[in-house]
Structure 1
Amino acid sequence: MGAGRGLLGLAPGRRILLNAVEWIVESVEPQLGLFVLAHADGHVESRSIRWLINHPDARMAKEVKAVGSGPGTQPRDAADLTPEQHRRARIRAEHVLEAMTGFRSGHPSRAQPGEPRPAYDPDRTTLTERRRVKVSELKAMPPQEAEMLGLRFMSLRTLERLSSATGESLLLACADGRWTRRSGGHRSVTEEVREAIFAVRKECKDRARIGMAAKHRLLHQYMKEQYPQFPTEKIPSRTTLWRVWHEWFGPGGGRQRYERSADEAEEAGVARRVVVHRPGQVLALDSTPMPVKLRETVFGDTVTATLTLALDLYSHSLPAFRLTLQSDTSVDVAMLLRDVMLPLPMREGWGEEMQWPYPGVPADVIAEFTGCGVAALPFFAPETVTTDHGSPYKNHDLVDAERELGCNILPARTLRASDKFAVERAFSSIKTLLFEHLLGFTGADVADRGADPEGDAVFTLAGWNT
């Protein structure tokens, strides 16, 4: 994207200067021609790409190296600060911005009541005059308040030095470097000890779970076998090993079988979360007992149904769902996939607002193909299907049907809720927004159940399926 000011790389995380004010691109929706800008003070705006192209003063911000980052270390980030430290650094940055621009927010469009103050009016004072006034103002502050905010020793030279930073870089420059001081490392962890620690971790991965004391003995054993001349007194203590282990490999609170599966997934290159780019790319299937008692159609008895959902992970829409008596089967799941691929006909009494909008395809073409009007419910051929390890989803007939449809099968890992977090959240939203307001709601468990949910049931299974 060029506008006579160089190339504008519109991507999440990039920094853009608009009227000399720095903004961060939070997200981009090219299919809608929109993007979201976020300011350092938390203000968020949604703009169109056309607006950015025609902006008179838009350019990319220079990449400024984070303050306090050294070679081989992770740069400091605002997330490293506690809420109190963030507040104190924000106050310091506001003083610097007021000396630079006359406004504590850094721009006239976000002026606070009473700004600019006469001594900081940019139309009547110079930059050097404002800095000198700011130094005098800070020196006149009560000593305890100035010391708490770190403004006691802010001189004219300090204000000049901080003026080169903007946005988050200014916030980090105003943060005390001692707040995010990094460890100087462990001098006792030499190359030989490092090799031994990784060897012990590899050995422990395939063994039963053991404590740090046993790992420390294995460390001594490895050093004695591989490096007999290495002094025993220079081997790190158990406390040092515990600290190094937590820094390098994390707390390690998981069970052994799941730690092994996570390591195997990382080695295979599939440990990262799937990134979805288009509708129908990944379809998540799951089932749960419906927390509302229903009436059976023939005899009117109270029954429990199972709700099976199909969730598109791109749009988070529900292309199809099914209610089955008691538990679902592989045939029910296969019919659910069929519902996902077929359009839903318009029903009597539905207005035009319920009709599906077709981007790029005339509605008459789809209506001629289906033989009727189509409701506003997505339908597509799923590319990848994500399921859990329940028996209906592992059935050979269902697997054959999915392969016949050309679907890739991506089972969720055992006890990994993050693999199907979206569909689990959909179940929770449906319960909160719908089921809790219906008669016959059973609650989360038996202790939270009503006096007689079976007697309160009024809805029928056939009524829900239609």
Structure 2
Amino acid sequence: MTARRNARPSVKVGAQVRFRGVKWQVVALSGQVIHLVGPDGGGEAVLAGYLFADPGFSVIGADVPQAAPQWGLFETAPATAREKAMAWQRHVREVECGLAGGPGSAGAVREHYDPERHTLAEREQAKAEELTALGFGRVSRTTVQRMRLAYRKQGLWGLLDHRTTRSSSPTGRSDERVVAAVREALRRRRGRSKGTINGLFPLINQILEDQHGPGTVPVPSQATLYRLVTTLARPGELPSGPVRQVPASVEGRAFTPATALRPGEQVQIDTTRLDVLALFDDGRLARPELTIAVDVATRAILAAVLCPSATKAVDAALLLAEMAVPHPARPTWPDILRMDHARALPHQRLATLDERLAGAAARPVVLPETIVVDRGKVFVSAAFTAACESLGISVQPAPPRAPTAKGIVERTFGSINALFCQHLPGYTGSNVTRRGPDTEKDACYSVAQMQDLLDEWLVHYHHRPHEGLRHPMMPRKALTPNEMWAALVAVAGYVPVPLTGRDYLELLPVRWQAITPGGITIHHRTYDADLLAPHRGQASPVAGRGGKWEIHYNPHDVRQIWVRLPDGELTEIPWIHRDHVHRPFDERTWQHIRTQAVDGNHSDTKQHEAALADALDQLMRRVTSGHATTTERALMARTAHRPLPPARDGDHGTEAPAGSPAQQGDAGNDDSIDDLDNLPDDDPSPAPATGFGLYNAHEEADKW
């Protein structure tokens, strides 16, 4: 009996191998170490795994091993073709070793196929004559030899009649020039509104004429063109497809899920409209806009802010500060929602690092390392990127039209709508087909009330098991975001980040203005204070700005600005008529007042500005009393619940001006400004600007 054929080659003493493109000889084996001698007599000891991993490694003189059987492909062939291939396998084995079952199988060797009595060529000729007699057709010795070599290289897959396994072309026998024209027509329409398939036919004809000349390429029938368009179109391109299409961003692009191994390694931020109606301050019912930040490692919602109108760049910048500080627990919340009662969180160990956690809500606190945003103008604005740079955060824009790049935050929006919004009055559903007939009548919560409900629900959310969070030691148990945070904090550590009121001011947008003898003038508003006296008419020490001074402002409340004086600190400068206007207003509201003002003699600029301030106050009172126009109500709704407090002067060791909000901030801790509308007409006291809409930022700054 001959030795077994097609066995795996082996490396043994005396064998020659090819390694690094050079022929070596094996001289010794010591455990996993193989000692080689090169053609120049030099020796080298190589680990077996390293030797076998070399792309050019081979055992010289060894038989080529038979390929592993491709059972998956083999099963795709018709049954008759598989049966014939199995029959050929038995005949090929008998030619090679004399036994139909292969080397070592049971049975007797037939006389014509005995390797000890007949050569391989004689055995192949005998098999050809036998197969011809059995009805395999006219089989020659060359055919037997070809099948034997195919079996040696490809196994059973090589013995199949591949005419039965050929895949048909999706375009059939269509002219390649017509196929190219159809692809080009689909490419040109991509990204535009969808039309009918028949609407593509004129474009296809035009492309053929432009590229090959009129009448050069025969145009197939409409049925053929229809079949080509249907076959070549990508998912979501056909107008007859389902309403929910595959996003165009995933076409031709591999999808890689986002992974992170520590809290804050990657945070995804996005904005969307909630599927619930809220009552705005102007009496309108509309869907508020929600901006959230989700930590990839823990699936924790680090910050969530509701806005009545479109999110501004300053809103996104302030969202960063919300992530880095503990969220205080409300007095009405159950104890289980407080961090000191949450068993999943390492409260005692963390409290030694940050005493504020004693009264904090049971939610993770994370400072992001990298933030993934879309390419919306809010997130690529100078205010947002400057805020990230000041906090040491890297901004990673997602690829264009690629919602899967922020799949986690997109999915979190769905969870909020399904777990939170659908249980609120005024829920609209995900589309008009799921909306109730009396949704507008059910809506009863304002944006501020909905924000309070959302803050409390978020604490419950972090106690809810998440199927995407698994511990390596407990892979079958779904962890909550709090449990995952606790597990990763033990590995990554916890470093509190001090954020003061001054840090919030640094996150505001910047502009450059001159300090004139009359103060600082911006859009016909004058900002002035006694502390500007030494700097009136003086150039700024900042070179390259033409003598202008650095000004920080809040787009939602232009009643005050902050100027950076030579001491390097931001100092608040109020509008000279701030005491006369008791509610925040933005630039759009101010421009509306200016356009509605009666034309007259504007030579006296001070009197004109005072008249504008009085008109602005009257507008706010009309909105409060319900007598404002639709345009006026819409203007004032944009600034509702978005005040920004100034920094505590105690943060940088300077005295606050008398009557400034820095001194009045201790008067109360109300986060809302709704009560300011009910002030009597003769009350001249200015409105204290406190709170970010979520918590008191002054008290927050003092705790650091």
Higher Cα Rg, which structure:
2
Q: Same fold (TM over 0.5)?
A: no
Q: Which has the higher contact order (CA 8 A, sep 6+)?
A: 1
What's the TM-score bracket when you normalise by the shorter of the two chains?
Answer: 0.3 to 0.5
TM-score of the superposed pair, with normalisation by structure 2: 0.31
TM-score of the superposed pair, with normalisation by structure 1: 0.44
